[in-house]
């Protein structure tokens, strides 16, 4: 099972990463001003990750695909890494959908 890791950035903001079972980061959040806001972001990921329509696939300037997970209000709540192909990007989305709903939260 995957897990959410919460940590404090050098600038004092809180961030979370969703990691797959193999330890690879499959979704990263923006920076949050408070720990409570960061934890709310995790709850939003858990809720929205079960709906494929909440994922938006994009292509970076370098041509590599990636995806964003959006809340019901359209706000981005997490972004993936860049992938080598659209197929591996799709696999990343499937991994978030599988891991996020039940993933425990760990503070590091």
Per the structure, the complete domain to which residue 96 belongs is given by 3-107
d(CA 2, CA 81) in angstroms, rounded, equals 16
**What pLDDT shows up at residue 73?**
93
Query: Which domain CATH number covers 98?
Result: 2.30.29.80
Domain count, the chain: 1
**What pLDDT shows up at residue 24?**
92
Q: pLDDT digit string (tens) for 29-73?
A: 999 999 999 999 999 999 999 999 999 999 999 999 999 999 999
% of the chain beyond a pLDDT of 70:
100
**What pLDDT shows up at residue 26?**
96
What backbone phi and psi angles, to 5 degrees, belong to 31? -85, 140
Q: Assess whether pLDDT exceeds 90 at residue 1.
A: no
Q: Assess whether pLDDT exceeds 90 at residue 82.
A: yes
Average pLDDT in the chain? 96
CA angle 26, 30, 32 (to 5 degrees): 130
**What pLDDT shows up at residue 14?**
98
Q: Assess whether pLDDT exceeds 90 at residue 10.
A: yes
Which residue spans within 22-95 are E strands per DSSP?
25-28, 55-59, 65-70, 76-79
How many CB atoms neighbour CB 65 within 10 A? Answer: 19
d(CA 76, CA 47) in angstroms, rounded, equals 13
Q: Does pTM top 0.95 for this prediction? A: no
């Amino acid at each position: 099972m995957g897990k959410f890791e919460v940590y404090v950035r050098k600038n004092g903001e809180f961030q979370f990463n969703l990691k797959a079972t193999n330890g690879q980061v499959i979704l990263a959040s923006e920076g949050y001003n408070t720990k409570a806001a960061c934890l709310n972001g995790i709850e939003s990921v858990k809720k929205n990750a079960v709906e494929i329509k909440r994922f938006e696939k994009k292509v970076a300037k370098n041509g590599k695909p990636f995806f964003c997970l959006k809340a019901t209000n359209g706000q981005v709540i997490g972004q993936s890494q860049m992938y080598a192909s659209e197929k591996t990007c799709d696999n990343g989305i499937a991994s978030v959908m599988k891991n996020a709903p039940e993933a425990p939260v760990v503070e590091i």
